[in-house]
Amino acid sequence: MFKIGVMASGGGSNFKAIIDRIGEGDLEAQCKFLITNNGTCGAVSHAEEFGIPVYHISGKTHPVVADYETAMMDVLNKYDVDLLILAGYMKALPACMIHRMPDRILNIHPSLLPKYGGKGFWGIHVHEAVIAAHEKESGPTVHLVSEEIDQGRILAQVKVPVLEGDTPEVLAARVLEQEHNLYWKTIRDYAAELRS
């Protein structure tokens, strides 16, 4: 069985959509852990509901950088997952994690990369920038994680319209709905690619 670990910082709706699909049998995988930098976020509640072990690792829990990195690596080494899934994880990963799992870490980003990616482009700020630039379309991207933020190989994208009068929040909701359809399918397809 394919093993995944998830990292999330916020509401965790992408995390929930993935574990729901696992539960329904659409995605043949086991979720072994959640790593979060926010011990009270929605993703933690979802993990607890599904009995998934939670590791809260942040600058607060591990103020010394070396300890922080060791804690992260300890989780990876303990579970030896096939894929690490970033689902609304709002911090850059330590380079040691990226080196530990080359081409095995996926991220979802709420814009059509390479547009509106990189430093400062996360969460609602992405949608604010898209609207300010009067873009006619936006949409989520799933990509492999490399050391350059949001620049790894693109695995999948879905376009959604940006409508007249959209606020960043309205656009975010339209994009998020597509994220929930896109992420689990991309994980399924990429897992198949790795197996072939």
Provide long-range contacts, Cβ within 8 A and 24+ apart, for 152-159: 152/107, 153/103, 154/113, 155/106, 155/186, 155/189, 155/190, 156/182, 156/185, 156/186, 156/189, 157/112, 157/113, 158/182, 159/112
Smallest separation, CB 71 to ligand GAR (Å): 21
Q: Which is nearer to ligand GAR, 11 or 94 (CB)?
A: 11
* 116 binding ligand GAR? (CB under 6 A): no
Q: How many residues bind ligand GAR (CB under 6 A)?
A: 17
Please confirm, yes or no, whether 109 is among the known catalytic residues: yes
Q: Which residue is nearest to ligand GAR (CB)?
A: 88
Give residues 140-159 in contact with ligand GAR (rule: CB under 6 A): 140
Q: Are 69 and 176 in contact (CB under 8 A)?
A: no
* 179 binding ligand GAR? (CB under 6 A): yes
Q: Are 12 and 45 in contact (CB under 8 A)?
A: yes
* 139 binding ligand GAR? (CB under 6 A): no
Given the rule CB under 6 A, which of 11-19, 98-106, 128-136, 187-195 is the region that contacts ligand GAR?
Answer: 11-19
Which residues are catalytically annotated?
Answer: 109
Q: What are the residues binding ligand GAR (CB under 6 A)?
A: 8, 10-14, 87-88, 108-110, 122-123, 126, 140, 176, 179
